[in-house]
Structure 1
C-alpha cells in the first residue's frame, strides 16, 4: 500500500468527513490489497507484500528532531515475564501472596525487570510525603530482602525533558501471546519491532537483547516513526520506542491485559521532581489504605 494512502486515514479529522470527501477517500483504496497491519510474526526489518509493521508506518506529522538522534539521553531495557509459584512457597501459613490461576493449573505473577508492581496506598502525585521511601524500588535499587517474588512500587526516575528510549523484551515467550503495553501521559514514537536476527538463539532475554544492542543489531527506523500510546510486543521479540519526557509527574506504564495488571506487569515513570509539579490545592482529599490494626484479645487461641 503506498504511504500516502496510509496517511489519509491517520490525518482525517471530524471536519474532513463530508459525503464528497468520503467518496473520494474510499475510491483510492484498492480492494485487492490483502495486508495485515502489525503482524504477530515480527518480521519488520524489510518491506513485505502481505503485512505492514507499525514501525514501518510513517508519521503524517513532524517528529521532534531530538527523537531521531542516534543516542537518547536515557535508555531503559525492560524485560518482562511470569514467575511460576511453587505450591509450597505460595501457600505458606500467614502469607497472602498474589497469583493468577492460569490455564493448566499454574499459579503465576508478572515481573518487569524482575519486579512485581504493587500500587501505593496513596497517590504519589499529591501525597508523596505520606509514602515511606522503602515502598519504592527499581532494577538498580532493590530491597535487601527481595527474593524471586520481588514486590514494590516499581518506579523509574527520568529527568524532565530527557529523550527516553525504552526497549521492551518479551521473556514470557508463550506462543501466540503478544502483550499490549500502554503508557499514560504521553505518546511515543515506535522506532523498532522485531526478533533476534541470530538464528542460533531460540529464546530472547535481557542479556541477549543487550548484546544485540551493543553490536548494533536491534533494528531501528528513524524515518518519521509513527506515534502511539499502546504497542503490542511480539512473542519472543522486542519493541523499541522513544519519547520526550516533557510532562512531569508519575505515569503508569502497563500491560493492557487486566489480569496481568493486577499481578504486577506495571511500573511508574517518574518524570521530573516535585518542584516541577503544581502545588496540591488546599483541602485536597487524601487517600490511604485505611486498614485497621489486627489485634487479638488474650483469650484467643
Structure 2
C-alpha cells in the first residue's frame, strides 16, 4: 500500500503533472522527505538558471523554466526562518580584503553593516519563487525564530480557491508558533510579478520577504514583442534598511535615534554602505548582466516597509513600463520610477548604451518631503557582457553616485512632487496610466457603483496624560514617529485590532471589547478613539467605489494602501485643493457628487483604468478606485507602511456570507483566548485532601 503522503502527492499529479526529476539538490536535508523530488533551489536569481530549456528544467525537477509547452509541476520550497546576523562567520573575510568570501554559502552581507537580522534559509531576501502559470506552489514554513510567531502573505495573489492561505494572522489563519511548521499550498495563479513577506509585526523589514514570479507562456504574453529576455536573475526586490533591529524603532525613541526613516537601501539584499566621511564597508553590489542589442524584462518589486518612497534610476537607460502589480498596461517610457511599499513594476531595459565590459549604476534613493536627510540611497550594477551566460563575478566600478547625481526627468508615480492634475506633465501619476485592455468584466465601470466607501486616513493624537498618566490602564497601541508626537493610526476614526482567532476559518463570537460600538464616530477628527475589529460587509458580486482621503494634519505622508484578494481600478488621483484644507468633508461631498455625475461616462473617459492591488495615496491627496468584489472571504485592507499597520491603519472587508466562502482543509490549526470560568471554592476538595494528607504526614513523624 502506498504511503498516505505519497498517495496524496500522486493524486495531485495524476492527469496534470509529469515530474520525475531528482530534485534541485539531492544533498539537502531540509524539507519533507516525501516531497524531496520537488524541492526547489534556494538561489534561482544567481544567474545559473537563466538559460535552462523547458525540457532540461523539467528533467531536473526545476520549476523556473520557459513556460511554452511546460507541463504543470509541483514546486516545493522549504523555508527555515531563524535569527541570524549580517557579515557573520559564514562571510569569512568578505569585507576585509577577501571579496570572494562574500559568495560563501549562508553569507548575508546586506550593506556591510553588522547587525542582527531574521532570515529564510540564511539569505536576504528569501528564496525567489519562480514558476509557470498553473503550477502548484507548496511552501513549508519552519519557524525557528526565538520567541516569535509568523505568517507569510503572498502579496498580490487573489487566493480565490484557497482564501485560508492568504497568510494574515487572525484573519485567515493562526500564527505559526516557534518550532512548528505550517504548509502553504495554492495554485500558481494569476501570472505576474508578486512577492511574499511576513505579515506579523516588523519581521518583513528584518529580512522575511522574497520575490514570487508566475510566468505565462511567452506565446500568449501580450508584451512579448517588446522584450527578448525575461531572466530569473532580473527579478529585483528593493528593501529599505535600518542598522538596528526594527523592533528598536517601535514605538520609537524620544532622545536618541529618533524617527523611523531608512539608513540605507538594499537591492536584492545587497549594497555597500558608505559613511558620511567617505569610509566604505566594502560590501558587494547586486549585479545584473545584459548583452548589447537585446531588450530585457526587469521585474521591480517594492519590498520596502516605510512611508518614504524611493526613486529608481538606471544610469543612461530609460525604462519602458509594461505592467503594474501583475497586470499589463499601455507601454510608456520613463527616466525614473517612484515606488512605494508593495508596488510592482515590470519594465523593459534596452541594452543599447554600452559595450561588453561597460557598467552602469542602478540607484534607489529616498524621495519624501518630510525627511531632511535626502542622501540615503542604495546601488546595484547593470553590467554589459559578451556571453549571455557568464559566471557572475564582482565588477570594479567608479565613483559611487550621490543622491543628486541623476535628474528626475520623466517620472512615473510622481505624486510626491506633482499634483496629478496634468495628464501631459512629465510628473506622471498612476491615474494617468492606462491598462493595456479594458476590464475583463466591464461591470466594474457600471454607471453607478453599488456603494461608495470614503476612507478617511488619519491619526489619533495622544498626550502624555491621556496615554500614560490618566489612561485607566487601557494600553493603547501607539508610536512615536518624532519627538512630541504620540499617535495611533485610524481609518474613519477606528484603529484596527485583530481578533484572537481567524475570522475566515473559525466560527466564534468576537469579544465584546473588540466590537466596534455604534457610537464610534466616522468623523476623521473625532476626539473619541475607537480601537476595535473594524469589519465592513458587502454582498458578493457588488461593485464598490472607494475614496481614500488623507486627513492627516500636515499631509506629508504617502499611504500605500493594499487590498488583499481583489484588484483596484484607479479612476482618479489628486491633491486636495488648498481652499478645502480646513473643510475636507466638503471636498469629499463635492467629489462624490462629481463621481455620480461622471459615472455614466466612465467607459469613455476612463475605459482602461490601470489595475493595482497597492495604491499610493499621495500626501494631502485622494484616490478614487472601483472594485468588483467577486472573491468571497475576509480581506484585509491596510496601509503597507509597516508602522502604520501595527498601530491600527487597517480594516477588514467581508465579501459575501460565510456559507459562500471556501472552508479550510481538515486539521487546520485553531486558536483563541483561553479564559475558563472561575468558581468560588472550586479547589476546596483538592485543598482539603492535600491539607488532610499533610496533617497525617506530620502526625506520623
- TM-score category of the 2 structures, normalised to the smaller one: 0.7 to 0.9
- The question of whether the paired residues in 2 share the 8 Å contact of 1:164 and 1:244 is answered with yes
- 1:115-142 CA distance string (max 9 Å, x none): 000011100001133434763338xx44
Look up the match of 1:4.
Answer: none
Residues 1:204 and 1:143: Cα distance change in structure 2 (over 3 Å): closer
Look up the match of 2:73.
Answer: none
- The question of whether the paired residues in 1 share the 8 Å contact of 2:460 and 2:527 is answered with no
- Counterparts of 1:114 and 1:121 in 2: how far apart (Å)? 22
- Say which of 587, 598, 618 aligns to 1:208: 587
- Say which of 546, 550, 567 aligns to 1:166: 546
- Say which of 423, 429, 449 aligns to 1:53: 429
* Offset of residue 167 of structure 1: 0.2
- Counterparts of 1:126 and 1:101 in 2: how far apart (Å)? 35
Secondary structure of 1:224's aligned partner: coil
Look up the match of 1:22.
Answer: 295
Look up the match of 2:479.
Answer: 100
Pair 1:78-2:455 in alignment = yes
Instruction: Give matches, 1:279-294, under 5 Å.
Output: 279-290=663-674
Look up the match of 1:277.
Answer: 661
- Counterparts of 2:558 and 2:481 in 1: how far apart (Å)? 16
* Offset of residue 284 of structure 1: 2.5
Residues 1:28 and 1:65: Cα distance change in structure 2 (over 3 Å): farther
- The question of whether the paired residues in 2 share the 8 Å contact of 1:179 and 1:257 is answered with yes
Shift >6 Å, 4+ stretches:
217-220, 291-294
- The question of whether the paired residues in 2 share the 8 Å contact of 1:42 and 1:193 is answered with no
* Offset of residue 70 of structure 1: 2.7
Residues 1:292 and 1:174: Cα distance change in structure 2 (over 3 Å): farther
Pair 1:237-2:621 in alignment = yes
Larger Rg: 2
Moved more, 58-67 or 254-263: 58-67
Secondary structure of 2:667's aligned partner: coil
Number of positions where the alignment pairs a residue of Structure 1 with one of Structure 2: 280
Secondary structure of 1:122's aligned partner: coil
Structure with the bigger RCO (C-alpha within 8 Å, sep 6+) is 1
Look up the match of 1:135.
Answer: 514
Look up the match of 1:157.
Answer: 537
Secondary structure of 2:499's aligned partner: coil
- The question of whether the paired residues in 1 share the 8 Å contact of 2:544 and 2:626 is answered with yes
- Say which of 503, 515, 521 aligns to 1:124: 503
- Say which of 476, 486, 489 aligns to 1:110: 489
- 1:157-186 CA distance string (max 9 Å, x none): 111010111100100143542111111111
Residues 1:163 and 1:61: Cα distance change in structure 2 (over 3 Å): same
Moved more, 91-100 or 120-129: 91-100
Look up the match of 1:257.
Answer: 641
- The question of whether the paired residues in 2 share the 8 Å contact of 1:81 and 1:171 is answered with yes
- The question of whether the paired residues in 2 share the 8 Å contact of 1:59 and 1:225 is answered with yes
Ranges in structure 2 where 5+ consecutive residues have no aligned partner = 1-220, 231-290, 298-347, 354-406, 679-701
- The question of whether the paired residues in 1 share the 8 Å contact of 2:228 and 2:296 is answered with no
How well do the aligned residues superpose, as a CA RMSD in angstroms? 3.5
- The question of whether the paired residues in 1 share the 8 Å contact of 2:417 and 2:427 is answered with no
Residues 1:59 and 1:238: Cα distance change in structure 2 (over 3 Å): same
* Offset of residue 54 of structure 1: 0.4
- The question of whether the paired residues in 2 share the 8 Å contact of 1:249 and 1:272 is answered with yes
- Counterparts of 1:27 and 1:283 in 2: how far apart (Å)? 51
Secondary structure of 1:123's aligned partner: coil
* Offset of residue 16 of structure 1: 5.3
Instruction: Give matches, 1:174-213, under 5 Å.
Output: 174-197=554-577, 199-203=578-582, 205-213=584-592
- Counterparts of 1:222 and 1:29 in 2: how far apart (Å)? 35
Residues 1:57 and 1:119: Cα distance change in structure 2 (over 3 Å): same
Ranges in structure 1 where 5+ consecutive residues have no aligned partner = 1-9, 295-301
Instruction: Give matches, 1:28-47, under 5 Å.
Output: 34-39=409-414, 40-47=416-423
Residues 1:17 and 1:218: Cα distance change in structure 2 (over 3 Å): farther
- Counterparts of 2:511 and 2:474 in 1: how far apart (Å)? 22
Pair 1:248-2:627 in alignment = no
* Offset of residue 148 of structure 1: 1.3
Moved more, 100-109 or 220-229: 220-229
- The question of whether the paired residues in 2 share the 8 Å contact of 1:100 and 1:108 is answered with yes
* Offset of residue 62 of structure 1: 3.0
- The question of whether the paired residues in 2 share the 8 Å contact of 1:127 and 1:286 is answered with yes
TM value normalised by structure 2: 0.36
